[in-house]
Structure 1
Amino acid sequence: MKGLKLIVLAFLPIAFGSCASTIDQQEIPSVVINAVMTKYPDAKDLEWEVKNGIYEAEFDLGKDDYEVWVNGEGTILKVEQEITHAKIPVAVLTKIKSDYRDFKLDDAKRIEIGKKVYYEIELDGNLGDQTVVYTDTGEKQDPIVLTKIGE
């Protein structure tokens, strides 16, 4: 059993090496930092990760949590903002109340990808939870749209 633990511990760094890794701000290209700080000059507690040449900044802005993905040229590809239920558009709330009557709203995010805006809403239900995605006009989307950045 002790040998198995040692083998597992030996492979943990390899397993996590393929994930995004946290890096110091000094290692981020200035054009990437400038893109984030120009759009969000009051960002606090920035943490950076990089994966496949895409930089992700996580930070607080007021009471909201943000995640911003930026390419190496300084183009913002995607922005996720955790929001309160009050910030969900009426069209989205109306559609959710119609389509998911037996569910309660849980966490919500406003997501910008390019010029498009989506709302990702977690719903709690008696038989399980669901995550749904809508445009700001209340059109339901396949959640896969949220993974298509930089295309």
Structure 2
Amino acid sequence: MRIIAFFFTMALFSGTLVAQDDAPAALKEAFAERFPNAKSVEWEDPEDGVYEVEFKQDKREMTANFGENGDWLETEVEIEQEELPATVKEAIARQFSDLEFDKAETVSSPERDLVYEVVFEQDETTVKVTFSPEGEVLDKTVKSEEEEGKE
């Protein structure tokens, strides 16, 4: 019975990961050039022509998005709450002190050099806030637990 459960679990998850060999050559080259020290690399199936790559580099959990032609679209780096700049911490204390901190990431892209995404939880609601390095709220999305499950 355990063997059947194991194979079922493996089949369930095998559809979400893409072998590195299946990724376009331009994408693999662009990834290796941008992240030469990447470890534990996992490629996700492309969605709308965008490849998501999860990996570790410099002891950090990271995610990068690339177009099929190798164009870099975005990089997210998980950080600890203490690593947020003082300006962002102050904005959180002023505007979101009633919410429970869940996680934080730095996000960089060609459009935005660097922003901070902070996720909070409140009851059955997830609040995702994007801050500038100066602590300005750039974006805020609120989703119920039910909406999160549909993604």
Superposition TM-score, scaled by structure 2 size: 0.73
Distance 1:53 1:128 in 2: 30
List runs of 5+ in structure 2 lacking aligned partners: 1-11, 142-151
Q: SS at 1:142's partner residue?
A: strand
Which letter maps to 1:102? D
For 1:96-135, list aligned pairs within 5 A: 96-116=92-112, 117-125=114-122, 129-135=126-132
Match of 1:77 in 2: 73
Distance 1:87 1:44 in 2: 23
Deviations 1:124-148 (A, max 9, x none): 457855322111111102247xxxx
Residue 33 of structure 1 pairs with residue 28 of structure 2: yes
For 1:1-151, list aligned pairs within 5 A: 21-49=16-44, 50-116=46-112, 117-125=114-122, 129-143=126-140
Which letter maps to 1:60? K
List runs of 5+ in structure 1 lacking aligned partners: 1-12, 145-151
Distance 2:123 2:19 in 1: 43
Q: Highest CA radius of gyration, 1 or 2?
A: 1
Which letter maps to 2:93? K
Deviates more, 1:34-43 or 1:114-123: 114-123
Distance 1:85 1:96 in 2: 11
Distance 1:34 1:106 in 2: 34
Superposition TM-score, scaled by structure 1 size: 0.73
Superposed displacement of residue 46, structure 1: 0.7
RMSD: 2.4
Which letter maps to 2:103? D
Q: Do the aligned partners of residues 107 and 74 (structure 1) sit closer, same or farther apart at CA in structure 2, a change above 3 Å counting?
A: same
Distance 1:93 1:31 in 2: 39
